[in-house]
Amino acid sequence: MTGQLKSFIEVAQDSDFPIQNLPFGVFSQSREGKRRVGVALGEWVVDLAALEANGCLNLHPNENYFNQSTLNTFIESGKSNWSKLRAKLQNLLSADNPELRDNLVLRDQVFFKQSDVILHLPVHIPGYTDFYSSKEHATNVGCMFRDPKNALLANWSELPVGYNGRASSVIVSGTDVVRPSGQIKLPNSERPEFSACRKLDFELETGFIVGKANRLGEPVSIENAWDHIFGMVLFNDWSARDLQQWEYVPLGPFNAKTFASSISPWIVTMEALEPFKTHSPIQEPQPLHYLREDHAKNSYDIHLSVELKAKNAEHTDVISQTNFKYMYWSMAQQLTHHTIAGCNLQVGDLMGSGTISGPTPESYGSLLEITWNSSKPLTLSNGEQRSFIQDGDTLIMKGYCQKEGLRIGFGEVSGKVLPAIQFNFTAHTAEEKLSETV
Amino acid sequence: MTGQLKSFIEVAQDSDFPIQNLPFGVFSQSREGKRRVGVALGEWVVDLAALEANGCLNLHPNENYFNQSTLNTFIESGKSNWSKLRAKLQNLLSADNPELRDNLVLRDQVFFKQSDVILHLPVHIPGYTDFYSSKEHATNVGCMFRDPKNALLANWSELPVGYNGRASSVIVSGTDVVRPSGQIKLPNSERPEFSACRKLDFELETGFIVGKANRLGEPVSIENAWDHIFGMVLFNDWSARDLQQWEYVPLGPFNAKTFASSISPWIVTMEALEPFKTHSPIQEPQPLHYLREDHAKNSYDIHLSVELKAKNAEHTDVISQTNFKYMYWSMAQQLTHHTIAGCNLQVGDLMGSGTISGPTPESYGSLLEITWNSSKPLTLSNGEQRSFIQDGDTLIMKGYCQKEGLRIGFGEVSGKVLPAIQFNFTAHTAEEKLSETV
């Protein structure tokens, strides 16, 4: 069993990155330094560009997969290559193999402490789509903003509702997020005002990275959909609830979402997640044919949590704990639905799961739900209260799978919120400014 | 006056492409041939890569702007370079200048008949956003699907409503469009069915191409917004109305739009359009400060039309004639609003205007409006009727500006509709198939 495979590199028992994981990322040794592809192992990054240059990988003659600033070239090389590399790396890094273990000169070129390098966006993301596939989340939102008795819209149970997001504003974990500004309409005002967002929220999500393209006009069948998925990341879909409420009818969220969306730096492959396959909820009504698949093994048992660290606070507070397995629509169903009308997906596309909420308040995936739109504020361990995110707050999401001594983790996606820009509408009178800027 | 400038190349009086226009495109001599940048002049393409290679342009030492498969490199070089090139080209191509005029060997390398070359997508489009900025269109849709007395939603008059589109499915004029399939919910059915789209529509739009990026978290002010716009194209935002109606609440259109969006091959620059600046409608209420600009010269007088050519028909029918100047929100307002919360735009981004409808039924920009959702079918000159687009129909959109003997045209964006894919859900019984595939 793979759980018994050990590396010559010591990996802590509770590490997210044992030799059974080997998630992919892109790193450099300085901010402007040369970017290349690596995998995480314990607290190290293994430099695949260095291994490739030293002839240790030999996936394909004359190929340059890893001396690259993104993973796209490698991902495009295909699923059989992903498996081939995984097997090679597990062999090369195993405690039993002297090739790298005993080559101290090469080891010096290949291993870097994660704390000493800079992690970048692992892929170029040509397109980003966000789904809305947690029944609990959609129900909570429906209860708050529509009718508690008819919380789910009729289409929700028939198709994985999704919308096109903005790919350019996807950022890597650790990047600060500037509080957005825009139009807010207060209930008692006749007109909207221009203001910094007052209801800044996170959304706990995962995302998957498309590993295989399909051509325009050629849908991917549900049977083939899993072959089009390279791996998964943690995903924080930052949301400005007040901007969203005013803008989103009838064409969907726009400025409320396009100011930042954060992903974790390590892409965990579907192969690494394989031991944690589990069943998704039974779908009732049974989906139409094109979305029909066996629900016995189409989800993953991934523990997810959200922590909030207030400015100057000594401790972080865990404010949500949930699990990916609650998702109603599977990743394969999302991908197939996305292409059924002919849309072409591209290698590197990011598909957000939608907020992942579980059945209880402790497992809700957004502050909107946790505080029930401010009606039940959170009290942090430092005594402060939160309805929504305040300036200086850092949000940290973590994820891992665990069973029988095997832990496959995602690391984290974090982001700190900075104060909004001070706008100065110089062309206008002070009186006008006062009335519209807050 | 620039209207009097003449080229040594003969250009017909009614050509869209006189020397005052010089729109940019990307062409090759065969399907798989080398792509490079050109400008249109009369019925010719002027090969800028050939001119650059022969030292006729000298914009910048050692630069390679035009021996490229997209315009992005040149656009990124900046607005002053765009102007510099335009002046150089107008000089080089003018009847008075012997440099190219009398060099027949070079002319042979530089001029290609448009009918002999293949035109490609002129830019790599990193992001595509579609707005909804025609008051007449939004009002018509609101009348049909909501309340005729409150047709416009409250947010519509306060901000240019927009949504993220799917960039990967933007195609160039001349590319066939496969009729999409997906979920359709009929009024008297309890559940949706899987079907080919029965309400396939066009949307007459223009689009602008972003010419200058802004960084994440750094909005573009309304004063600077025009400097971020490179040029305009014609745009057909194909729409599957029946898919759309079922899927779009609450997160906006998705599969109803992502199967194809067609643009014209030539990007007409803002400099070429300058003589046709005109005022946009007065905005009431006056927009919030960040969107406030002088409406006297923030629009363009562009005549637009839609033609439909039925399969095997001898003639095309003009089914809509309208004008860009009816647009309520300006392109600068769209761009500034898009960035106000911090979203970063990228060079090459496509911003669709939204369907452009005028005040009368003859000027509506979609079949949905023209036939008032099938209640007033069109009769074509061959006697056939149309509520929506049928297989084999070709849709052709044209646009031009004209005054005082000067015509600046866009050429056209066209696309032919092919029948839907035949799906075969082999895993299921014939009875089930019958009930769900149409």
Residue from B74, B134, B50 nearest B363 by CA? B134
- pLDDT for res A404: 93
Catalytic residue among A60, A120, A124, A137: A137
pLDDT band per the 50, 70, 90 thresholds, residue B146: confident
Look at residue B432 and tell me whether its pLDDT is greater than 70.
no
How many Å apart are CA A260 and CA A2, to the nearest integer?
A: 38
Please judge whether A250 and B251 are an interchain contact, meaning their C-beta atoms are less than 8 angstroms apart: no
Residue A103 has pLDDT above 90, yes or no: yes
Q: Do B288 and A192 make contact, defined as CB atoms within 8 angstroms? A: yes
Task: Please write the tens of the pLDDT for every residue from A136-163.
Answer: 999 999 999 888 999 999 999 999 999 9
Is the pLDDT assigned to residue B425 strictly greater than 90?
Answer: no
Residue the block writes with tokens 């065969």: B30
Q: Which pLDDT tens digit goes with each residue over B327-339?
A: 999 999 999 999 9
Q: Say what the pLDDT of residue B127 is.
A: 98
> Where does the pLDDT of residue A336 fall: very low under 50, low under 70, confident under 90, or very high at 90 and above?
very high
Q: What is the ipTM of this complex?
A: 0.96
The tens digit of pLDDT for each residue in B126-141 reads: 999 999 999 999 999 9
Helix (H) or strand (E) holding B259: none
Sequence-distant (≥ 6) Cβ neighbours of residue A188 within 8 angstroms: none
Nearest CB neighbour to A168, from listed B126, B159, B223: B126
Average pLDDT of the residues of chain B: 95
Q: What tens digit of pLDDT does each residue of B16-26 get?
A: 999 999 999 99
Tell me if residue B111 falls in helix, strand or coil. Answer: strand
What percent of chain A lies above the pLDDT cut of 70? Answer: 96
Q: A259: distance to nearest CA of chain B, Å?
A: 5
CB-based contacts of B106, cutoff 8 Å, min separation 6: B50, B54, B56, B100
**In which band, very low, low, confident or very high, does the pLDDT at B3 lie, cut at 50, 70 and 90?**
low
Pairing of strands A193-196, A181-184: antiparallel
Shortest distance, CA A88 to any CA of chain B (angstroms): 34
Contact B23, B266 (CB under 8 A): yes
Identify all chain A residues contacting B250, using CB atoms and an 8 Å cutoff: 153, 161, 248-249, 252
* Bridge partners, residue B402, by sequence: B407
Q: Are B366 and B199 in contact (CB under 8 A)?
A: no
Our answer to whether residue A228 is catalytic in this structure is no
Mean pLDDT computed over every residue of chain A: 95
Q: Is 60 exceeded by the pLDDT of residue B248?
A: yes
Per the CB < 8 Å rule, is A254 touching B162? yes
- Kindly report, residue by residue over B376-419, the tens digit of the pLDDT: 999 999 999 999 999 999 999 999 999 999 999 999 999 999 99
Q: How far apart are the first and last CA of chain B?
A: 61
CB contact set of B27 (below 8 Å; sequence gap of 6+) = B35, B36, B38, B45, B47, B112, B117, B118, B119, B120
Count the alpha carbons within 13 Å of B194 in the hemisphere toward its beta carbon.
23
**Whole-number pLDDT of residue B245:** 96
pLDDT in tens, A8-64: 999 999 999 999 999 999 999 999 999 999 999 999 999 999 999 999 998 888 889
- Side by side, the strands of the sheet bearing A111-113 are A111-113, A44-47, A36-41, A24-28, A118-120
Residue A2 has pLDDT above 80, yes or no: no
Spatial CA neighbour of A169 closest among A354, A390, A350, A411: A350
Q: Which residues of A touch B152 (CB under 8 A)?
A: none
Distances (CA, A) of B57 to A234, A261, B5, B37, B62: 49, 42, 19, 13, 11
Rounded CA gap, A201 and A183, in Å? 16
Residue B261 three-state SS = strand
What is the pLDDT, as a whole number, of residue A61?
83
Q: What is the pTM of this model?
A: 0.96
B209-226: average pLDDT:
98
Close Cβ partners of A431 (under 8 Å, ≥ 6 residues apart): none
Model confidence band, residue B434 (pLDDT cutoffs 50, 70, 90): very low
Classify burial at B141, counting beta carbons within 10 Å of its beta carbon; exposed 0-12, middle 13-18, buried 19 or more. buried
Q: Is the pLDDT of residue B426 over 70?
A: no
From the list B120, B137, B337, B338, the catalytic residue is B137
Q: Between B166 and A62, where is the model more confident?
A: B166
Q: Which residues of B touch A427 (CB under 8 A)?
A: 223, 289, 292
Specify the pLDDT at position A429: 42
Nearest CB to B182 within list A181, A254, A340: A340
Which residue does chain B place closest to A191, by CA atoms?
B158
Asked if B168 lies within 8 A of A132 by C-beta distance, the reply is no
CB contacts of B348 in chain A (<8 Å) are: none
Q: State how far the alpha carbon of A371 is from the alpha carbons of A138, A242, A364, A368, A396, in Å.
A: 16, 15, 10, 6, 18
- Tally Cβ neighbours within 10 Å of residue B60: 11
CB atoms within 10 A of CB A185: 18
Question: B168-189 burial, b for 16+ CB within 10 Å, e for fewer?
Answer: bbbbbbbbebbbbbbbbbeeee
pLDDT at residue A217 greater than cutoff 60: yes
Lookup result for tokens 């989906």: A287
Record: contact A290-B247, CB cut-off 8 A: no
Reply yes or no on whether the pLDDT at A436 is more than 50.
no
Locate the chain A residue with the closest alpha carbon to B164: A164
Query: Is the CB of residue B301 less than 8 Å from the CB of residue B275?
Result: no
Distance CA A191, CA B288 (A): 10
Strands B378-379 and B277-278: unpaired
- Shortest Cα–Cα distance, A79 to chain B (Å): 22
Indicate the Cα dihedral angle A165, A169, A171, A174, nearest 10°. Answer: -120
Q: What is the pLDDT of residues B256-291, one digit of tens each?
A: 999 999 999 999 999 999 999 999 999 999 999 999
Closest by CA position to B340, among listed B232, B229, B214, B251: B214
CA distance A171 to chain B (A): 10
Rounded CA gap, A167 and B210, in Å?
Answer: 16
The residue among B132, B156, B288, B291 with the most chain A CBs within 10 A of its CB, best to mutate, is: B288
Inter-residue contact B371 to B377 (CB < 8 Å): yes
- pLDDT at position A433 is 43
Closest CA to B160 of B325, B334, B351, B326: B334
Name every residue whose Cβ is closer than 8 Å to that of residue B93 and which is 6 or more positions away in sequence.
B7, B8, B9, B19, B22, B41, B46, B100
A432 vs A421: which has the higher pLDDT: A421
Q: Per-residue pLDDT for A3 more than 80?
A: no
Expressed in percent and rounded to 5, the helix, strand and coil fractions of chain A are: 25, 25, 50
Report the gap between the CA of A351 and the closest CA in chain B (Å): 13
A433/B289 Cβ within 8 A: yes
Q: How confident is the model over B300-356, as pLDDT tens digits?
A: 999 999 999 999 999 999 999 999 999 999 999 999 999 999 999 999 999 999 999
Provide the shortest C-alpha distance from residue B437 to chain A (in Å).
9
Q: What is the mean pLDDT of residues B208-228?
A: 98
CB contact under 8 Å between B338 and A255, yes or no, is yes
How much of chain B is in helix, strand and coil states, percent to nearest 5? 25, 25, 45
Give B70-127 pLDDT, tens digit per residue: 999 999 999 999 999 999 999 999 999 999 999 999 999 999 999 999 999 999 999 9
Nearest Cα to A302, choosing from A202, A369, A366, A232?
A232
**Interchain CB distance below 8 Å, A423 and B254:** no
Token pair, residue B258, equals 């992502």
- pLDDT at residue A430 tops 90: no
Domains of chain B as residue ranges with CATH: 24-120 (2.30.30.230), 128-418 (3.90.850.10)
Partner-chain residue, chosen from A127, A154, A260, that has the shortest CB–CB distance to B216: A260
Reduce the DSSP state of residue B330 to 3 states and report it.
coil
| Concatenated DSSP letters of A423-436 | ---TTS-HHHHHHH
Which of A133, A292, A340, A347 to mutate to probe the B interface, most B CBs <10 Å?
Answer: A340
Closest to B343 (Cβ–Cβ): which among A169, A223, A246? A169
Decide: A45 and A29 in contact? Cβ < 8 Å: no
Structure tokens at B312: 């095997």
